[in-house]
Structure 1
Amino acid sequence: MESSLTSLSPSDIAAIVEGRHGNPFAVLGVHAGDKGLIARAFIPGAESVETLTFGGKSIGMLSRIDDAGLFEGKISIRKARPLRYRCANAQAEWLSGDPYSFGPVLGPMDDYYIGEGSHLRLFDKLGAHKIVHEGVHGVHFAVWAPNARRVSVVGSFNHWNGARHAMRLRRDTGIWEIFIPDIGEDEPYKFEIVAKDRKTLPLKADPFGQRAELRPANASITTAPLAHDWGDQAHRAFWQQADIRRQPLSIYEVHAGSWQRGPNGDFLSWDELADRLIPYVVDMGFTHIELLPISEHPYDPSWGYQPIGMFAPTARFGRPEGFARFVDGCHRAGIGVILDWVPAHFPVDEHGLAQFDGTALYEHADPRKGFHPDWQTAIYNFGRREVIAYLVNNALYWAEKFHIDGLRVDAVASMLYLDYSRKAGEWIPNAKGGRENLEAVSFLQQMNRELYGRYPGVMTIAEESTSWPKVSHPVHEGGLGFGFKWNMGFMNDTLRYMARDPVHRRHHHDDIRFGLHYAFSENFVLPLSHDEVVHGKGSLLAKMPGDDWQKFANLRAYYALMWGHPGKKLLFMGQEFAQRSEWSEARALDWYLRDAPAHEGVRRLVRDLNQLYRGRPALHARDCEGEGFRWIVADDAANSVFVWERRAPGEKPIVVATNLTPVPRPDYALRLPQGGLWREVVNSDAAAYGGAGMGNGGSVTADADGHVRLMLPPLSTIMLEPA
């Protein structure tokens, strides 16, 4: 039965019960009546509603003023305060906190910094956060949707009814917020958004959600503040003080879903990965693990490169706390953790960022700037301060909450050029008429400036495949501000050379030499990444020419050449034991191959190369500076031989000599940097690595001027150090 005593207009009543009201806080909650305060609540399914304080005191009964579940009545309190309702029907009785009896959580300073685009703690303000507000436990929700007509939080706690928890609009910023009492963590939720044209959009996951459901489900999940007792102080203190350019950096690139699998082919949890992966990486001598993107993503074959939940570690491997334990475990073992980070594009799945509030909010409206033709994905609008703040905050979030050691930024070239993968007429020039994306440049500079400024010891690495200048130079010098850049030229040139039959290599000597012309123009990482072992490219072993003996010898020689070459190192998982088949995200690596001596020999070599690289400053302390390299033999194309010296101030030099033909060179003459006894510290042809065991018996002696005659084994790299 409806009451006729209400002061609400029929249009207000209809708008509330139909979920169309633009400002439900003006109607629901506590308001002044003719003789004191009244309360209004919309509780579908209730037949009686008693009003309580949060202390449990009864302060009045409400009358139903609409059959859909809208109630109103006088309450016996003098001052507005948070309310709770005891609701009942013929089947049940339950308590329901009134979100409309609470004031806002965000304040004017939040509005100011958000409006300015300079708020650097957005991850603590937007999204869903379990807090105590006005003395009551609950969850605060906030989301940016400036062009929406109405935004509601929906979940199992309100039966996914968008009329129940419509949010308050903060008009200055376009952010909608609501505090819902009496709910906690583990609650799936989404946002129901009504666009300006009054159409209700497909339910949206939370852009700032810090936990998500396991695919194919795609709701966000409320979570408590990350609870982990970190024990990585020594690790972080070391890197905060270190000049990382002069430290050994050997990165093991890992796809967490396919490094190993459980007995039934299921994913390992973060804790299981920690138990297996960390000891393995420590034993192998790598300094860092680089994880392919772990932000939540809907599609496994994207490998994480089409993320939707940028703030949520994927549910595939467990809760966010598990990832924190994994990072902490790595740090306690002396291993850094780098995350692959994807600000270049995002998928257009309907629960994601695309057309978020019914408009092109995160992306450009014009597909010539807002749609990526290669990946069929959307491109962030780098000219919008709120979008920049979203991405910069995400970079800061991983460093702040999860103590990550670095971000490898994917597809930087696609961000820098407006005509990337576009034909004439398919792109819009910048304000100066050029093809450079000046807005993306500004974003990358701001991201690097903020990350390096707030978290010393954290690095950024650009996957940038063009000759864009000063990628790894400071912003104040006109650079993009990255710490390092992937050396795609080294990878392309040397793999092309190694894939050739050795009889033809003499004609392509510059494929090895050319990279040294620019090796010190940037701070380079030499990447043999996942990109080289997918999409029909085969494994690294499969790229090598010849029979099995030659394939393995080529690969060992190549690895030793790379570890002796200027630049930090990166190797994708499985290539350390010469995985034969192309990598697939759908299954584990072929670990049984380690039972074969040839495969295990490659793994031993990589382990020993890492130990040598880390233990000899000549091999790492001047990786990024020309003074750390000198050619000894650069022009012996006829024999496909290269010899160079690696050095660092005050340290023993290392001489790297490589023979990339299957012909042994038993009496190869050259001049070492100094006379005396030189030890052979690495020989990729050693029997322990699966080679033939040719070499120099462990050492050679040069005359007073450094002249010496070496045995250069076939398809091999050796390294020499003065005794």
Structure 2
Amino acid sequence: MKKNIQNVIEISNEASKIFLSGENFYVQQLLGAHRIAEGYIFRVWAPNAQKVSLVGDFNDWQGIPMEKDETSGIWEVYCEHAKEKDLYKFKVQQADGREVYKIDPFAIRFEKRPGVAAELYEFPAKKWKDGLWIGRNKRSNKFKRPMNIYEVHASSWKEHENGEPYSFSDLKAELIPYLVEMNYTHIEFMPLMEHPLGRSWGYQLIGYFALSSYYGTPAEFQDFVEACHLNNIGVFVDWVPGHYCINDDTLPYYDGTPQFEYSDPDRAKNNRWGSINFDLGKPQVQSFLISSAMFWIEMFHIDGIRVDAVSNMIYRDYDEGPWTPNHEGGNRNLEGFYFLQKLNAVIKLAHPNVLMIAEESSSETPVTGLIENGSLGFDFKWNMGWMNDILRFYEMDPVLRKDHFTLLTFSFMYMMRENFILPLSHDEVVHGKKSLMHKMWGDRYKQFAQLRNLYTYLITHPGKKLLFMGSEWGQFLEWKFDEELEWGDLNDSLNHSMQKFTSELNYFYKEQTALWELEDSAETVEIIDADNTSESVLTFMRKGKRKKDFLIVALNMTPVERREFTIGVPYPGTYKEVWNTEMQEFGGTWTQHNDICQSESIQFKEYDQLIRTTVPALGAIILKPESINIRKK
């Protein structure tokens, strides 16, 4: 046993040197708790602590002194009495002599809230069965494939009758079939890492390597991801590398000095969210955070990470409160900028098919694309500008929309500037903002009509798609993090029809190559008429690789039915309506589609041909060429 421990110590000396340099991307294999022979070896980084002791179930919480390696600042002790499922903490005598019971920052499991003690846990050996999914991802171009994301808060999607949240075993049984039924291609979870306060929604973390015990065991989440892949569904997880929970018994000022946080108290304190900012320029913090990302990718086979609050990481003046310019006199957080480039470079080198997604609200910094070209190196960026403009527009009285039509169309001007995801996310349905359904103008019938119109625009506009749970059927109440969704809504015929609409629209999106095949190119869209403000109807085309593969979209933003409405078309021939938001099965009043349109040789703007059809009040239609002559325009 002593020989085994000595081997581990020798290995750890090399690993600790790499940790200090910021290049150890598997630092959880060094720090934390690890089984050795019959017991466990415990290590924690606390360079300026006067003393650190291990306390837990195995010693009646009395404390075992740990030894410090002066070079690395890592404290270590071997405990032969420790066993799996025991709880433990570190008792840290900080630099000023104050004693605080602290969490293990590298724990892979914690006790259930409100406690924050780490639990000794061993991952069971798993033989993954998702090789076909992984192989298919390696061969596919993520930019030229459909991506329609269902955003979920795991504990409020559905709960048991006694109010207990679903575990991932429960979610595997019910959520995955629902995703299949609703025709989503991906699911994205709000943070699943350990956090002590439910109302933070997981955005103020304490355990960067631990699935929250609120959601079950890590093995259950592994099984969930595997089952998603077997059903052709990708899994994304939100991750928060910019700031963390302020609780004194967690990460803040761990050894009594600025350890994970900035030395400058103004930079360390996050006033906006009541949390603490990581010092992203510190090598040990870089090792910690990048190791966390790698851990989630490799242990759980997740397909992507959405990095939260990127603006807070790359701008010194993003927060509320005092700020100081960088050494160049600007507002760029240079440490955060270079950390994100490093993060993306490391992930892409190790896992080129894992998607890195940024939630970033400004337009000053290139976010997606090659790092060599000056960007942060993400694959996708949430298009917050599109989301804000669109929701303002749909909340507006239709009488006013003609004067604000650019809110609807402005995104076409910059749609190729980044690789965008169009988010209608959780942030838009809380804190008095009202649900998407409740935002819509007019009476209940008109609200559903506009919601169908909005989702059609979401699906047909260039960019990948994201919709928050409950919005698929038009839940009227705001989302509540501590209650399940209003599933009773589906007893109402209009809500049920709205859910059917979303499912069929999602299927339509997956089947129509024109909606995603050329999405990384400006050729994917052609505006037919964005200037019809008097009637407030927008028309445009989405195009695939083949000339005959295109769709014509018409969105009517007024409660007035537009009959004999003219639309310019590129080729003579016939055009068939393949989508109409006002069909009776979707909650509308139409019992049959518009007749097939025969083009007429009449000039319409840039087109030599036009068709005439009816666009429903507050509705949207999509037409597809049926029999056209592409040689004659």
Is this contact kept in 2: 1:696–1:710, CA < 8 A? Answer: no
Aligned to 1:187: 86
CA distance in 2, matches of 1:463, 1:698: 43
Match of 1:276 among 174, 177, 184: 174
Q: Which amino acid aligns with 1:189?
A: Y
Residues 1:260 and 2:163 aligned together: no
Aligned to 2:41: 140
Q: CA deviation at 1:139?
A: 1.5
Aligned to 2:622: 719
Is this contact kept in 1: 2:108–2:210, CA < 8 A? Answer: yes
CA distance in 2, matches of 1:544, 1:107: 59
Residues 1:676 and 2:563 aligned together: no
CA distance in 1, matches of 2:62, 2:593: 78
CA distance in 1, matches of 2:86, 2:54: 11
- Pairing 1:89-100 to 2, within 5 Å after superposition: none
- Pairing 1:145-184 to 2, within 5 Å after superposition: 145-162=46-63, 165-184=64-83
Q: Deviations over 1:370-420 (max 9, x none)?
A: 001111111000111101111111111110111111111111111111011
Match of 2:384 among 468, 488, 512: 488
Match of 1:404 among 289, 299, 302: 302
SS in 2 for 1:639: coil
Match of 1:112 among 1, 7, 17: 17
Residues 1:322 and 2:223 aligned together: no
CA distance in 2, matches of 1:399, 1:226: 17
Q: CA deviation at 1:600?
A: 1.5
CA distance in 2, matches of 1:635, 1:673: 18
- Pairing 1:306-345 to 2, within 5 Å after superposition: 306-345=204-243
CA distance in 1, matches of 2:96, 2:182: 59
Aligned to 1:129: 34
CA distance in 2, matches of 1:565, 1:448: 27
CA distance in 2, matches of 1:81, 1:382: 38
Q: CA deviation at 1:107?
A: 3.4
Q: Deviations over 1:73-112 (max 9, x none)?
A: xxxxxxx879xxxxxxxxxxxxxxxx9x997364332133
Q: Which amino acid aligns with 1:718?
A: I
- Pairing 1:689-700 to 2, within 5 Å after superposition: 689-693=586-590, 696-697=593-594, 699-700=596-597
Q: CA deviation at 1:674?
A: 2.1
Match of 2:118 among 213, 220, 227: 220
CA distance in 2, matches of 1:149, 1:698: 82
Higher relative contact order (CA closer than 8 Å, sequence separation 6+): 2
Q: Deviations over 1:155-202 (max 9, x none)?
A: 01011112xx222222221111223224331111111111233332x2
Is this contact kept in 1: 2:594–2:614, CA < 8 A? Answer: no
CA distance in 2, matches of 1:460, 1:595: 39
Residues 1:250 and 2:148 aligned together: yes
Q: Which amino acid aligns with 1:184?
A: K
Count of matched residue positions in the alignment of Structure 1 and Structure 2:
619
CA distance in 2, matches of 1:495, 1:622: 26
Is this contact kept in 2: 1:598–1:690, CA < 8 A? Answer: yes
Residues 1:564 and 2:460 aligned together: yes
Aligned to 1:64: none
Q: CA deviation at 1:546?
A: 0.7
Provide TM-score, normalisation by structure 2: 0.95
Stretches of structure 2 lacking an aligned partner (at least 5 in a row): 602-607, 627-633
Match of 1:468 among 338, 353, 364: 364
Aligned to 1:39: none
Residues 1:709 and 2:612 aligned together: yes
CA distance in 2, matches of 1:482, 1:298: 29
Q: Deviations over 1:225-252 (max 9, x none)?
A: 3432211111111112222111100000
Is this contact kept in 2: 1:241–1:457, CA < 8 A? Answer: no
Is this contact kept in 1: 2:252–2:260, CA < 8 A? Answer: yes
CA distance in 1, matches of 2:501, 2:474: 11
CA distance in 2, matches of 1:700, 1:232: 46
SS in 1 for 2:520: coil
Is this contact kept in 1: 2:25–2:288, CA < 8 A? Answer: no
Q: Deviations over 1:665-693 (max 9, x none)?
A: 11001222222222222111111100111
Aligned to 1:377: 275
CA distance in 2, matches of 1:108, 1:214: 34
RMSD: 1.7
Stretches of structure 1 lacking an aligned partner (at least 5 in a row): 1-53, 55-79, 83-98
Larger radius of gyration: 1
CA distance in 2, matches of 1:123, 1:623: 39
Distance change >3 Å, CA 245–CA 192, structure 1 → 2? same
CA distance in 2, matches of 1:102, 1:621: 53
Is this contact kept in 1: 2:12–2:30, CA < 8 A? Answer: no
% identical equivalent positions: 39
CA distance in 2, matches of 1:248, 1:474: 22
SS in 2 for 1:643: strand
Aligned to 2:630: none
Q: Which amino acid aligns with 1:107?
A: S
Is this contact kept in 2: 1:464–1:485, CA < 8 A? Answer: yes
Query: 592-601 vs 499-508, which deviates more?
Result: 592-601
Q: CA deviation at 1:433?
A: 1.1
Q: Which amino acid aligns with 1:618?
A: A
Q: CA deviation at 1:548?
A: 1.0
Q: CA deviation at 1:698?
A: 5.6
Distance change >3 Å, CA 103–CA 525, structure 1 → 2? closer
Q: CA deviation at 1:141?
A: 1.4
- Pairing 1:338-353 to 2, within 5 Å after superposition: 338-353=236-251
Match of 1:359 among 248, 251, 257: 257
Q: Which amino acid aligns with 1:127?
A: G
CA distance in 1, matches of 2:500, 2:148: 15
Q: Which amino acid aligns with 1:434?
A: G
Q: CA deviation at 1:477?
A: 1.4
- Pairing 1:231-242 to 2, within 5 Å after superposition: 231-242=129-140
Q: CA deviation at 1:613?
A: 1.2
Q: Deviations over 1:460-487 (max 9, x none)?
A: 1111111123201221111101110000
Q: CA deviation at 1:359?
A: 0.9
Aligned to 2:545: 649
CA distance in 2, matches of 1:411, 1:713: 40
Q: Deviations over 1:583-603 (max 9, x none)?
A: 101111111111222111211
Q: Deviations over 1:12-71 (max 9, x none)?
A: xxxxxxxxxxxxxxxxxxxxxxxxxxxxxxxxxxxxxxxxxx7xxxxxxxxxxxxxxxxx
Aligned to 1:537: 433
Distance change >3 Å, CA 299–CA 316, structure 1 → 2? same
Aligned to 1:600: 496
Aligned to 1:435: 331
Is this contact kept in 2: 1:484–1:524, CA < 8 A? Answer: yes
Is this contact kept in 2: 1:105–1:140, CA < 8 A? Answer: no
